[in-house]
Chain A
Amino acid sequence: MLIAIFSAFVVAVFVQPLFKFSKKRAGAILSLLPLMLFLYFAYNTSAVLSGQLQFETYEWIPSLGIHIAFVMDGIGLLFSLIITGIGTVIFLYAGSYMQDYKYMNRFYIYIIIFMASMLGVVLSDNFLVLFVFWELTSISSYLLIGFNHHKEESRYSALQALLITGTGGLALLAGLILLSIASGTFSVSELLASGIDLSDSELYVPIVILIFLGAFTKSAQFPFHFWLPNAMTAPTPVSAYLHSATMVKAGIFLLARFNPVLGGTELWQDTLLIVGTVTMVIGGALSIKQSDLKKLLAYTTVSVLGTLTMLIGIGTELAIKAFTIYLIAHALYKATLFLVSGTIDHETGTRNVDKLSGLRTFMPITAITAILASLSKMGIIPLVGFVGKETVYASILELSDFGTIIIFLAILANAFIVVVTLLVGFKPFLGKFKDLQRKIHEAPFAMWAGPLILAVLGLLFGLIPQYIFASLIDQTALSIISKTIALKVKLWHGFNTIFFLSVLTVAMGILLFYFRIKIFSILISIKFVPYFKPSFWYDYILKGVMTTARAQTLLLQNGYLRYYIIFILLTFLTLSGYVLFVHESFDTISLDLHITFYEIALSILIIVAVGITIHSKSRLTAVTAIGIVGFSIGIVFIIYGAPDLALTQFAIEILTVILFVLVIYKLPRYLRFSSLSGRIRDLIIASAVGVTMFFVVLLITSAEMSSELKQFFADVSMPDGKGRNIVNVILVDFRAFDTMGELVVLAIAALGVYALLKLKLGNGK
């Protein structure tokens, strides 16, 4: 499995040279990758379906219990087959569809990375590896949604998708870490095998909420549904692949994956049931307001994702059966319809459903494909969509509470889906042809072959469901609810309640379709208060973050040196003030008052000179005064046994003063720039720092301290360093590298000075 996933990443590296070789054939060649992976997974099918799980483990960070571990069980295999199978069709289709795009090579790199990451998500056996792949799918989704990055709409949608799924991803990471704390393992299969009951753990509620956040954002559940329709700005193959067949189902996959451990509680089941139902209805209701083919489909995807969530919420054997069939059925017909809408767009230049009709004579194969997929989507016998919808209804009817309400809502949502299907799958092809001012013909082979295969599979799976689904449902159920189920799958159950409900759904849908213009105008006339729209809150929060960031940047990075310094000083004052006045006691201070007369005189000299430097209106006076300060400090060094320091200080002081005088000699008089209040503010801050440092010095000097190094240097400098002046021995011997560094700094400063003096501005312009 590792080789399967990483081979895709390796292929991504070679996309660029392949495109150099042949842009025309690159898509077809690259579609061999998902095809081979599909065959690999298909080859493993019989083993997995007979109950042999496949494990692979490679050490990554063993000290943290993180291994690159993979497991292929029923649900993992189901998703892998969908990812690689649909992937083959998409890769082939895009090779033709994307020919006119400038950066087709980038498209393939992104989508291969996505496919590999998505396989990683569904096959990971380690929480953190799962998370890494999860985030990789979000990032590749971002890059693909924003593929037409010259359009502002694309960039907005891409960022929206990234922010919403990314925030969910962070919640998921927190949830997974809490889960590993509560269960003591990072391994998915160990967790599932342990049969641990976490519902009594105090971490249970936070774990469930965080994992819900991750799953709901990724799978576009209400109230996070709005990013998915916006993501339709991506090229159509992306919408078909990521945003209907695979990536948006990652959240559902996650819920199914952890259902055996976290499920069974009211919190888990009821939340999923409610959120799923609400999403199902809202997705359906919002869809019929659209006129763009892809947006119509996107809202029905939201509705289907809601249904899948709801089914996990119901959680019965029948519901898991419905989940499996509906998942496959949806992947088959929705990817097909997306690709068909892409074909229509490609050949006619528009995706506006109001402008399209009568295309059947020009595009017969696409028309057949579209109608087959549409019949499946509407749930018409004998297609697989019919089997799916029947089992969904059957599992809802099993519910004791709310069963009636939910079945009503489900029929309503499915009636909306029927409307959308009539609009997308039938209307463009039937009726009288409207002239679109361009020559229309059938799409090339690469663009009709894949969708046709998917549509035919939808018919085949519907005709013989018992051979396709039986063992797959068995193993998927083992993954989701930890037990196998022996339910028969049949196409025809007879004229029962459920069949009646199916007929009712389609009838309602057709009725709604004919009155859609009226319903549409009513829906338009209802002006929603913006506060009810989740997307309003997204924009509101995003704007708030931007405004705050801007205000904070303008405050902290305002371009004025003194404010930067003031912020640093205030931070220092707060922290050191806290330590000084809360943690330290001033009782420990012992004052040493052995001060001689000349020390007092020297101190007064320094203080006065500092005062003159600050107050002086003449630069020359200020420089003279600072010279006095420097020389006085040199004398302090002499008094306390540091003649080397004094010598250096004197030499440096002379140089500084000379340099200063040379430079400032020709300048005009000082100007006083700052206001009185500014000066008072600065004086208060400066004094506060001074007082803090005063207490710091007193506290440190009062503490008993002895330095071992002091005696060490005294003992070894003569025997080892051959020098009597210990300070010098330290500098040139024990810390010679330090001195070397100091010389380098000086040399760099000297070079800088030389360069600044020689620099002639304005000559080269």
Chain B
Amino acid sequence: MNLMMAVLVAVLYTGGIYMILRRSMVKVILGLIFLGHAANLLIFTIGNLTKGKPAFVPEGMLSLDEPFADPLPQALILTAIVIGFGVQAFAIILFKRAYKTVGSDDIDQLNHTDELDR
């Protein structure tokens, strides 16, 4: 199953990077979402995959015995997903604003203020 996860991570990274290199702002945001997924899956995979054993302490027990899924990467990813959403929401609204102001979806229209004189 590490082969499968490696393929998924690779595909998500490839797709994400291809998308953030586009000129369309919507595509850049979609690319950011892909990269978020890719990073989450990467951390998830590195923390040793364990199938079907969530990290729950059974009723009446004080501790949990192996095998069980590592809870620490999960806690980190949970934070990452939520923060990722914050970033996405902000990016989407920022895009809306930029589109209203510039009137285009083209990211190259946004580089006027700090353009070097040439």
Contact = CB atoms under 8 A, between A and B. Distances in A.
Contact of B21 (A553, A649, A655, A685): A685
Contact of B33 (A644, A656, A674, A713): A656
Q: Is the interface of A mostly helix, strand, loop or mixed?
A: helix
Given A610-B11, A726-B55, A735 B5 contact: no
Contacts of A558: 116
Contacts of B89: 655-656, 659, 749-750, 753
A595 B1 contact: yes
A248 interface: no
B51 A757 contact: no
Which residue of B6, B84, B99 has the most chain A CB atoms within 10 A of its CB atom? B6
A660 interface: yes
Given A637-B44, A726-B64, A756-B93, A664 B26 contact: yes
A732 to B, nearest CB: 10
Given A561-B28, A591-B3, A709-B72, A652 B96 contact: no
A559 B92 contact: no
B34 A610 contact: yes
A54 interface: no
Contact of B75 (A622, A640, A667, A730): A730
Interface string A701-729: 11001010110011101110001111100
Given A599-B1, A730-B75, A693 B64 contact: no
Contact of A673 (B18, B22, B50, B95): B22
Interface string A727-749: 10011000100110010011011
B14 A686 contact: yes
Nearest to B112: A559
B93 to A, nearest CB: 5
Given A640-B49, A667-B105, A756-B94, A691 B72 contact: no
Contacts of A599: 1, 4
Contacts, number: 287
A87 B17 CA distance: 65
Contact of A715 (B21, B50, B63, B92): B63
Interface in A234-291: none
A690 B3 contact: no
Given A566-B21, A603-B4, A610 B69 contact: no
B57 A717 contact: yes
A380 to B, nearest CB: 59
Nearest to B41: A633
Nearest to B80: A742
Given A610-B15, A710-B71, A749 B87 contact: yes
B75 A749 contact: no
A698 B2 CA distance: 7
A156 to B, nearest CB: 21
A179 to B, nearest CB: 44
Contacts of A565: 17, 20-21
A559 B19 contact: no
A625 B81 CA distance: 18
B30 A622 contact: yes
Given A559-B114, A673-B106, A746-B83, A698 B3 contact: yes
A726 B58 CA distance: 11
A663 B107 contact: no
B77 to A, nearest CB: 6
Interface residues of A, number: 104
B25 to A, nearest CB: 10
Interface residues of B, number: 93
Interface in B37-66: 37-38, 40-42, 44-59, 61-65
A621 to B, nearest CB: 11
A600 B7 CA distance: 11
A735 B71 CA distance: 12
A71 interface: no
Nearest to A713: B71
Contacts of B22: 562, 673-674, 682
A554 interface: yes
A671 B13 contact: no
A13 interface: no
B45 A701 contact: yes
B72 A689 contact: no
A657 to B, nearest CB: 10
Given A606-B8, A640-B51, A659-B92, A731 B18 contact: no
Contacts of A746: 82-83, 86
A645 B95 contact: no
A404 interface: no
Given A593-B3, A663-B95, A717-B57, A640 B17 contact: no
B4 A614 contact: no
A713 to B, nearest CB: 5
Contacts of B69: 640-642
Given A644-B74, A648-B82, A693 B13 contact: yes
B44 A640 contact: yes
Contact of B51 (A633, A641, A682, A724): A641
A611 B12 CA distance: 10
Nearest to A701: B2
A600 to B, nearest CB: 8
Given A644-B74, A731-B78, A697 B83 contact: no
A670 interface: yes
A660 B17 contact: no
A633 B36 CA distance: 11
Interface in A668-706: 670-671, 673-674, 682-683, 685-687, 689-691, 693-698, 700-702, 705
A643 B9 CA distance: 20
Given A592-B2, A697-B9, A698-B3, A559 B70 contact: no
5 contacts: A697-B5, A707-B72, A715-B64, A726-B57, A731-B79
Interface of B: 1-24, 26-28, 30, 33-34, 37-38, 40-42, 44-59, 61-65, 68-72, 74-75, 77-79, 81-90, 92-97, 99, 101, 105-108, 111, 114-116, 118
Given A659-B89, A667-B26, A693-B42, 5 more contacts: A641-B52, A642-B69, A655-B89, A663-B93, A718-B62
Interface of A: 553-554, 557-562, 565-566, 569, 591-595, 599-600, 603, 606-607, 610-611, 613-614, 619, 622-623, 626, 629-630, 633, 636-637, 639-645, 648-649, 652, 655-656, 659-660, 663-664, 667, 670-671, 673-674, 682-683, 685-687, 689-691, 693-698, 700-702, 705, 707, 709-710, 713-715, 717-719, 723-727, 730-731, 735, 738-739, 742, 745-746, 748-750, 752-753, 756-757, 759, 761
